[in-house]
Copies of this chain bind each other. A is one copy, B any other.
């Protein structure tokens, strides 16, 4: 009587969401400060003051009919120009404002891009570990998700495995760097290798394999790590950006799709993006937040707090005997579980009031994801629990 595929997606909560709801309940039982919830990737650092200042100024100064009225379906022209100018100058790149489509957030950017590029039966490569919702987005219109595990020594793409996974039906590949859940950043060497193999495979297929780059964490990098601009390496790239993580605005749902001007059939790709936006019900991203963009683009929340957290946590965990993936970006620590079954490990962690997400649903079993976008105090308070958890495994040996 209803669409059963959709009902199934709505009836089961994701592992992350399940854990988050458990955490809320546990906090009411034993107190907020006694539960160490590392489950959700919800930014803990407030948005920079300029966000609310800009929004308030728009509300006070811009005429209400213009401010709250419809923009063009693809977004206000002035806003798209501001984005194009920023990206072009930051990366010394060619960007066309008429190949930018404003969206209501990262999920929208991805569903629109996938709808634009694939039909039922097409294949989309997902580099594991990946954000579990990618699979849902790919499969929605009947396309096939093809997970390819990364090199688990380096957490860089496994180029041989990717090459082996490509078929004549491969239409796109989604990359997410800096990565959720590993915190890894793709190196220049990885990108060059990936670009070369995709170019070759595109030739063999007789049509381009598009690279969809999901980049909400691209400003969240630490030390002197760089995040290269993918279109410089591979022309057939669509960038999906969201301001959620950089500006701590995840609830406001604002981002964009940028089609690289040098992509094959860039015009056709963009038309398909516009058509998908129209068909999925997305035209005109939220206007107030569109108009906010020019004043805030390139700025971030205070990410030094994430840096502090990641160093504090990864150093402590390493000293307790945990194996920690080097966290170069985003706000997630990827840590090897202390037993083979990561889910069992997470259950034991709960006994220490530690809420950690098992990596299985990310397509890479045997690890846990620890979201360190929390207060530094929470991290400090949790360290004895992490130590006790590790100790409990040592006594078993």
Binding site for B on A (CB under 8 A): 1-11, 17, 40, 42-47, 51-52, 55-56, 59-60, 63-65, 67-71, 73, 104-105, 107-112, 115-119, 133, 136-137, 140-141, 207-208, 248-253, 264-265, 268-290
Known contacts A55-B59, A281-B137; is A274 also within 8 Å of B111 by CB? Answer: no
Contact B283 A286 (CB under 8 A): no
Which residues of chain B have C-beta atoms less than 8 A from A289's C-beta?
Answer: 286
Contact A46 B64 (CB under 8 A): yes
CA–CA, A179 and B282, complex, Å: 22
Contact B119 A3 (CB under 8 A): yes
CA–CA, A289 and B104, complex, Å: 13
Which residues of chain B have C-beta atoms less than 8 A from A11's C-beta?
Answer: 271, 274-275
Contact A280 B281 (CB under 8 A): yes
Considering the complex, give the chain B residue whose CB is closest to the CB of A269.
B2
Contact A265 B1 (CB under 8 A): yes
Contact B248 A64 (CB under 8 A): yes
* Number of identical monomers bound together in the oligomeric complex: 2
CA–CA, A16 and B11, complex, Å: 39
Contact A283 B107 (CB under 8 A): yes
Considering the complex, give the chain B residue whose CB is closest to the CB of A40.
B70
Considering the complex, give the chain B residue whose CB is closest to the CB of A6.
B275
A282's contact among B2, B70, B107, B264, by CB below 8 Å, is which?
A: B107
Known contacts A1-B207, A119-B3; is A136 also within 8 Å of B279 by CB? Answer: yes
Q: Shortest Cβ distance from A216 into chain B, in angstroms?
A: 13
CA–CA, A114 and B303, complex, Å: 41
Contact B281 A110 (CB under 8 A): yes
Known contacts A69-B250, A133-B278, A251-B69; is A64 also within 8 Å of B52 by CB? Answer: yes
A10's contact among B8, B69, B119, B272, by CB below 8 Å, is which?
A: B272
Which residues of chain B have C-beta atoms less than 8 A from A253's C-beta?
Answer: 104, 284-287
**6 interchain pairs, CB-CB under 8 A:** A1-B264, A6-B115, A6-B276, A7-B271, A7-B272, A105-B284
| Beyond known contacts A1-B207, A69-B251, A286-B289: 16 more, CB 8 A cutoff | A1-B268, A3-B115, A6-B276, A9-B274, A10-B276, A11-B274, A71-B251, A104-B253, A105-B284, A107-B281, A111-B280, A140-B280, A251-B290, A252-B286, A253-B287, A280-B280
Contact A70 B108 (CB under 8 A): no
Contact A268 B2 (CB under 8 A): yes
CA–CA, A3 and B52, complex, Å: 39
Q: Shortest Cβ distance from A62 into chain B, in angstroms?
A: 10
A46's contact among B1, B65, B251, B284, by CB below 8 Å, is which?
A: B65
Considering the complex, give the chain B residue whose CB is closest to the CB of A122.
B3
Considering the complex, give the chain B residue whose CB is closest to the CB of A278.
B9
Which residues of chain B have C-beta atoms less than 8 A from A282's C-beta?
Answer: 104, 107-108, 281
Contact B281 A5 (CB under 8 A): no
Which residues of chain B have C-beta atoms less than 8 A from A208's C-beta?
Answer: 1
